[in-house]
Structure 1
């Protein structure tokens, strides 16, 4: 397949491009502004390009709608036979229960997640016309593989252990559990979804390893031999104690995480962090 990948130079995009090439697909990398640039023809699209900062989205919601929704609409107008959209677990909003399935109501609580929900809807309604086969992957917490976003838990913890950052903020006792997945395992999910895309629209959760902040700090110390300096803060009022992904639907397609156990995530990120310091 000739596959157009938007956001191909990003953290997840680079891994997806590698996975597609390894699977024998022809990749059309795209890193421009999809709202204005010419869109090459393809057999399928993996759409990653988006603004993705929750706090920033509160300050500038119009830009988020313009980029995330308008960009998606423009790609859909070209009606590629297969379309895979990167979305976020944030579309679920405040969780009802500890484990989220794809049937959980979507009630986004920030503009970023709201734009992703809107993009999902546009994709699903377009697929309903029979114009294309559509898949949405709702990502939980990406980690490992050389991530450079220091706001992410695993990335920041490794940076603190390396001495590149002074400390890591830990709210409450650090017992809140979230779901993590290695970026390479997430990339495999995108390739699998593209290759198995059928009529209509399907949504899948992408997560792998539940762990608390305390678990992450302990794993970093265990893997690197270096403690992580923690800056303790009061717990966020009303913070959800446990938030996990039900991935049974994705696993039914044959997906299995291979690099997402906590120590592997840490080793992967630590290797990239130490390389970064020596370059």
Structure 2
């Protein structure tokens, strides 16, 4: 199948282009103007989510769309909420309109497990109500609603994938925990940790996430169908677990500075049982040592 990947120049997008190619599909990369060709893509098309004409050209001749493009920084979204809704929600609406005009009737949408907020029940399952804690997550909830409504109209078949923290592979983002811990190990610079470092999160290897999108592309429901799945590693990892694993894999000590505790959830873990049962997907690379080794 010819699969358009929006946001193909990003961290997950590049991994998905490679995964689609390995699975025998023809990925068409959609990137912002000026990004350049994406290695491994059958074709690269420049377009912006807020440019209707560019979107119409981008979706021409494709069979499916994996929609990854958008804004993703939760803290930034507090300062720029309108921008986050304009791009994440409005951009999704514009893409759906372009798909309808072109007769493209299959979509896999990238969302986030942050939409659950901080529920007491862990691991988090898909039947939990949305309780978005910031404008970023709220913009994704709104975009999911648009996708579901379009699917319910019979215009397309759609799957929403909610993702936890991605890690591994080509991750160079200094704002994410594992690259920060690796940098501290290399530079011997103390790593600031909120509280005692016991907060637990779910880390999923980016290649496992990409495999989840391939599985969803290959199992999309017929037009009129809609499904929502969590992807996750099936394990919880604390900050101190990450530090210990980095020290184990690198042989370097990570100096720590304990800051005052932050107001944050103690445990956030995604339950991916439904994705395993219905998509035939399971994480294969998401043990912590493998994630860290892949980043070195």
- Tell me whether the two structures share a fold, i.e. TM-score over 0.5: yes
2:267 aligned with 1:242, yes or no?
yes
- What is the distance in 2 between the residues matched to 1:202 and 1:233? 41
- What is the distance in 2 between the residues matched to 1:204 and 1:168? 34
Aligned pair partner of 1:128 in 113, 132, 152: 152
2:63 aligned with 1:43, yes or no?
yes
Aligned pair partner of 2:252 in 209, 226, 233: 226
State the match for 2:85 in structure 1.
65
State the match for 1:210 in structure 2.
236
- What is the distance in 1 between the residues matched to 2:126 and 2:70? 22
Aligned pair partner of 2:140 in 116, 120, 128: 116
CA displacement at 1:75 relative to structure 2: 1.0
Secondary structure of the residue that 2:230 maps to in structure 1? strand
Runs of 4+ in 1 over 3 A off after TM superposition: none
Aligned pair partner of 1:92 in 116, 124, 129: 116
Deviates more, 1:83-92 or 1:71-80: 71-80
| Cα offsets for 1:215-272 (capped at 9, x unmatched) | 00000000000011222111123x32221111100111211211100110111112xx
CA displacement at 1:210 relative to structure 2: 1.4
Secondary structure of the residue that 1:101 maps to in structure 2? coil
State the match for 1:150 in structure 2.
174
Q: Is the 8 A contact 1:39 1:75 kept in 2?
A: no
- What is the distance in 2 between the residues matched to 1:18 and 1:214? 32
Root-mean-square deviation (CA, aligned residues, Å) is 1.2
TM-score under structure 2 normalisation?
0.88
- What is the distance in 1 between the residues matched to 2:83 and 2:214? 29
Trace 1:173-188 onto structure 2 (pairs within 5 A).
173-188=196-211
Deviates more, 1:182-191 or 1:38-47: 38-47
State the match for 1:265 in structure 2.
291
Q: Is the 8 A contact 2:118 2:268 kept in 1?
A: no
Deviates more, 1:201-210 or 1:178-187: 201-210
| Cα offsets for 1:169-203 (capped at 9, x unmatched) | 21111111111100000000001011101142111
TM-score under structure 1 normalisation?
0.93
Aligned length: 268
Aligned pair partner of 1:53 in 60, 73, 97: 73
CA displacement at 1:168 relative to structure 2: 2.2
Gaps of 5+ in 2: 33-47
- What is the distance in 1 between the residues matched to 2:31 and 2:165? 23
State the match for 1:273 in structure 2.
none
